[in-house]
Amino acid sequence: MTEQGVRWTADQVLSLAPDAASRKAGGKLGTAGPWSGAGSGEGAVWGLCKGSGSKPYQTVVDLAGGAGPACKCSCPSRKFPCKHALGLLLLWAGGDGSVPEPEQPPDWAEQWLGGRRRRAESEQAPASADTASGGADPEAARRRAERRAERVTAGATELEQRLADLLRGGLAGAEQAGYGLWDETAARMVDAQASGLAARVRELGAIPASGPGWPARLLEECALLHLLDQGWLRRADLPEALVVTVRSRLGLSATPESPPVRDRWLVLAQYDTADPKLTTRRIWVHGAESGGTRLLLSYGAAGRAPELALPVGLALDAELSAHPGAAQFRSALGERFAPPAPADFRPPGVTTAEAAARYGDALRDDPWLESVPVTLGRVTPVPDGDGWQLADADADSALPLSRAARSRPGLWRLVAVSGGAPVTVFGEHGHRGFTPLTAWPVAPGEAVPLC
Amino acid sequence: MNVSPAPPPAPATIPPSGTAAPSWEDLVTHALLGTDRRPSGYGTADRPAPLALLDAAAVATVRRRAGLRPAPAARRPEPAPGDPRPALPAAAARRLALLLADRSGGTGGGRRGSAPDLTELLPQWLAAANAHGYAAPSHTLPALLDAARGRTDLRPAALAFAGPRALWLARLNPDWRFALRAAPGGGTALPGPEDGEAVRRLWQEGLFAERVALLGALRGRTPALTRDLLLSTWSTERAEDRLMFLDSLRAGLSGADEPFLEQALGDRSRNVRATAAELLAALPDSALAARMAVRAAACVALDRTGNSPAIVVEPPPECDSGMERDGVVVTPPTGRGERSWWLGQLVEAAPLGTWSRRLGGRTVPEIVALPVADGWQGELHAAWCRAAVRQKDPVWSRALLGSPSAPEAGGPGAVSLAERAKLLAALEPAERAAWVAGFIAAHGLSEAFQLLGSCAVPWAAPLGRAVVDALNIARDAGSYPWSFSGVMGLAERCLDPAETARLEALLAIPDEREDAAPGAGGYWAEAFQRLVTTLRLRAEMTAELTPAPPRPDAPPRPDASPRPVAPPRPGDQSRPGDQPPEAAG
């Protein structure tokens, strides 16, 4: 890994920040003042940052590692990356000569980098041996799977009963019942090891408070939950591909089975959703050769940023393995061959009509699908009453923006980049409308993250 | 959602139930009330009603979602006007992203440490970018508008930099309406003076903001037309509007405006009268100024009876209707005597040229040095100060400021610090900086904040040296740096980055002395570290904004250039006061 990486932009570095406070703190440290002994080389950046104590913090960032940029800092912060790592990367991104390259890492940095890379290599080697040992006792594994299936069946049956009770008494009663009813049901589903059911049930609790039209939305979600129960209970009658989808929707973990695809993966968007227990990071990538759009997921415990972080607009030479399931976008990141580098290509765009059709088609394979990733080729953001839509530049048709997208600051970045002219927009399109995530101006220019 | 459901979709993997599908509304009604309460057609012998209802709802849901089609497009907005300014260099664009990102965090409070305060650098960055005439990257416009919304002091520079597209954007978002108010004509094009008909129509029918903008735009080029417009409707305007219109004459005031202003002295509104009088007093050759000169001269005389000549003051015995018409306010504020109040106003409005003749042909410094009898010196000198500020008279300003190292310059003398800061504004930048430098050398930093604020940025070399020396002395005196945080903050923003080298020596933590405040040495080192870091950052900012020399074979990125410690060219550093020309008129 001696390849000299291309420097990132400040935006790309800041997109790694776990929260606004870190952005701010990192921004302040992105100047030469507090740094000494900074350098870069062999896919890593390092430096000594003067803090409040007498001993400077040792900060090193590995850009070429297998699981995204990783960093190590002797500061006590539990944020990841910490402000020192962000500041160091900003200094490096500034490219004003404060971080000379290529250089040899000093001992303290080399120690960590070397250990990390040796570990990564040794992890790859025994991976094949591990699957062999997993298959050592197929009988035990089969019994475990059977027991789990029985539990899920019991959970699905119980949930069917609860849904039937709800419909018998009427959804109007759900408004008074509040979250309590659903939380308890969700807990039962967790016991039944059906995390997919539990998550859907938990979301039902929020619908009665979601404003006008809630009964219709609640009925929709109850019906889809019922459909999932039925899919599981009658899985023997379903086509194989649909069973895989039902299993993954129920949260029965599936390991990626398909052969890894090596490609240059352009990072289209990265955003986090947080609930009290877990922060989920979604990263959409687009393959230059394969043309597919894939989703990488990374999780962090409450309040901590997920470890995987890929700045929008960079491309990654890596292998991805798709999870099973016909309408699955999710993939697992395999080996990475080079640090992320600025990309000179964009995903090809489609019209709004094609985007709508794509969602419709995807429902065929996965009726529980909320949205599909789509790149709209030439669209203009247009105000439409209280909301906004993305209108085709060359046709009289438009996709409305989702309610969530309307209240985000990214909407205004999209409108500003467009200036009333067509732009290319990547986002998620589904039954709630289109949620823009990244925009490219018509003229050559960098991707603008909207989320 | 504004998506029209399509006609029955192609059969998906979920087959529709055999019978005619019930309407979605029907399903929702039944679900809401409950199948027990409202018996329905759902359910068969082997499928209980609730489950059958859910079956049908699932089919309907997936069918509706799969059948969603795009809606017809709404009316598209007019495209934003083009921005002909050149794009920001890449490094400068990154810097802007950082400065704007820092803004959102707000000041977290607590100790600032050694890191620079980026928020305070944004105004300077904007002024420099505007001086170069760069266009803002379009995706930064929302953050720029938000920044301008939160800080009114940033507005002119931020809006000028944001350019025409920001106004286009502001028309779409009510949060940014302020930008339209601030922009000339609410962002719409104003007719030029050659289009007489359009001008007249806009003046007759336009909104108040449009009319003020029209006046402002025409004032510079055709002052006569401006007056004609005002006269044409003057009698029908409301008092508040008359006041605002009158105020717009302040720019480019000339003797030609006198007849109109003289007429406004008889206005029904007291505020309009006062403003007219103030404007007339600023015209040394106006009839009002002459009347005031006569009145003021009657109150101030030279007494030659004593050993040395002195000024005697006899304030006006009454405020007659003529004085009142000329803008003298009759009732003094609480605690001030009537007669000295009137005197102050007369002297303030009288042309300063009056005094040399009146006081025996003395020069201005001689006049200021004359003793004043009976304790009138404070009142008289304060009025002269106001007159010097109002008439922007450098000779009088210099004389009233006196020597910066004079003992009374530091303490409460006849001229307060606030008045001094105003007087300094009448001097040339170099002279101003030299005076403040002398003041700091003699009196230290504790009183200097206001005076420093009136100096041009970056500070001239002697001033910068004086400030650094004074900070060094303050450190050696053993106090804590936060006693000087105001001056420190100013220095970070205003000191010439070329001073960085001189500051390096101050970065070391000195040995703690017995009498020094505990730990002060470390805090000072940190404060100087922040100062040096900020200066370097400003030098970098300036360098980034300098257009790269055209290199046909290399991308324009001043990447490998060494750290710019050399002073930036004088032209690069613009002053906050310098307003760049509006990009699109």
B491 Cα to chain A: minimum distance (Å): 17
Q: Are B49 and B42 contacting, i.e. CB atoms less than 8 angstroms apart?
A: yes
User: Cα–Cα distance between B214 and B221 in angstroms, integer?
Assistant: 12
pLDDT of residue B99: 85
CATH topology (fold) of A261-342: OB fold (Dihydrolipoamide Acetyltransferase, E2P) (2.40.50)
Q: What is the largest CA-CA distance in chain A?
A: 72
Q: What is the least distance, in Å, from the CA of A127 to any CA of chain B?
A: 38
Which of A24, A163, A419 lies closest to B138 in CB terms? A419
The answer to whether the bond into A81 is cis (omega within 30° of 0) is yes
Coil, helix or strand at residue B531: helix
Name the residue facing A28 among B60, B118, B140 (closest C-beta): B118
Cβ contact, residue pair A419, B68, below 8 Å: no
Bridge partners, residue A322, by sequence: A331
Select from A403, A24, A428 the least CA-distant residue to B99.
A24
Which chain B residues are Cβ-neighbours of A215 within 8 angstroms?
28, 31-32
The helix or strand, by DSSP H or E, that contains position A448, with its residue range, turns out to be strand A448-449
Q: What is the DSSP letter of B103?
A: H
A261-342 and A352-449, same CATH topology: yes
Higher pLDDT, A382 or B552: A382
Element (H, E) at B267: none
How far is B205 from chain A, CA to nearest CA, in Å?
A: 30
Task: Tell me the β-bridge partners of B71.
Answer: A398
CB contact under 8 A, A95 and B559: yes
**Cβ of residue A389 closer than 8 Å to a chain B Cβ:** yes
Confidence at A257, pLDDT banded by 50, 70, 90: confident
Question: Can you name the residues that pair with B310 across neighbouring β-strands?
Answer: B303
Q: What is the pLDDT of residue B409?
A: 55
Q: The sheet that has A387-392: what strands, in order across it?
A: A398-400, A387-392, A371-384, A423-430, A433-440, A448-449
Percent of chain A at pLDDT > 70 equals 92
Nearest to B533 among A31, A96, A226 (CB): A31
- Per-residue pLDDT, averaged over B91-99, amounts to 86
**Which of B68, B98, B562 faces A97 most closely, judged by CB atoms?**
B562
Q: What confidence tier does A99 reach under pLDDT thresholds 50, 70, 90? A: confident
The number of beta carbons lying within 10 Å of the beta carbon of residue B21 is 15
Contact A364 B70 (CB under 8 A): no
Residue linked to tokens 């600051």: A409
CA distance B547 to chain A (A): 16
Residue A35 has pLDDT above 90, yes or no: no
Are the Cβ atoms of A382 and B75 closer than 8 angstroms? yes
Judged by phi (left if over 0) then psi (alpha if -120 to 50, else beta), residue A218 lies in: alpha
CA-nearest residue of chain B to A17? B101
Domain residue ranges of chain A, discontinuous segments joined by +:
10-126, 141-250, 261-342, 352-449
pLDDT in tens, B442-482: 888 877 888 888 888 788 888 988 888 888 888 887 778 77
What number is the average pLDDT over the span A136-156?
A: 87
Tally A–B CB contacts below 8 A.
Answer: 262
Predicted local distance difference test score (pLDDT) of residue B452: 87
Chain A nearest CA to B568, separation (Å):
16
**Which of B3, B53, B54 is the mutation pick for testing A, counting most A CBs within 10 A?**
B54
Helix/strand/coil for A428: strand
Q: What is the mean pLDDT of chain B?
A: 79
**What's the gap between Cα B160 and its chain centre?**
12
Q: Is A296 helix (H, G, I), strand (E, B) or coil?
A: strand
pLDDT of residue A1: 38
Residue B118 DSSP one-character state: G
pLDDT of A313 over the 90 cut: no
| Coil/strand/helix, residue A130 | helix
d(CA B327, CA B321): 10
pLDDT at A82 over 90: no
pLDDT for B119 beyond 80: no
Domain A352-449 fold is: OB fold (Dihydrolipoamide Acetyltransferase, E2P) (2.40.50)
Q: Which of A29, A170, A224 is nearest residue B58 as measured by Cβ atoms?
A: A224
pLDDT tens digits for range A320-355: 988 887 667 889 888 888 888 888 888 999 999 999
The yes-or-no verdict on residue B561 having pLDDT over 50 is no
